[in-house]
Amino acid sequence: MITGMHAVIYTRNAEADRAFFRDVLGFSWVDAGEGWLIFAAPPSEVACHPARTGNKQQLYLMCDDVQAESTRLAKKGIKCGAVSDAGWGLLTMIRLPGGGDLGLYEPRHAIPPRLAPRSPSKRAKGGPP
């Protein structure tokens, strides 16, 4: 039985990115030893997209209001890119202190029932409530 998912972000500055997840995003964490922090992530979803080649993954954080979250992050000194309408959601990119980009989006697609936001209009059809 699968009990969770572990995502890894490869970075040029692990300490700075760990501080970002801990201090800016406020994710709870545990020290796995010698300063290796592992963060509790919010509920997640996985989608499989067709591609010409495999071995590519992307990581996005999801939020209810991308404009409000971008403003909140800006107040903490974190710059987000311009918000674009990708059709499936409103998308921006967060530049991590280690130099990588992390997607942040407000979904407009159906959400698995376990993750469904307050708005019932975005709830997926089928599956348990």
pLDDT tens-digit readout, 26-82: 999 999 988 899 999 988 888 888 888 877 788 999 999 999 999 999 999 999 999
pLDDT tens-digit readout, 105-115: 999 988 887 66
Which residue segments constitute the domains of the chain, with CATH numbers given? 14-43+55-122 (3.10.180.10)
Which tokens belong to 75?
């107040």
DSSP symbols for 50-114: --SS------EEE-S-HHHHHHHHHHTT--B---EE-SSEEEEEEE-TTS-EEEEEEE-S-B-GG
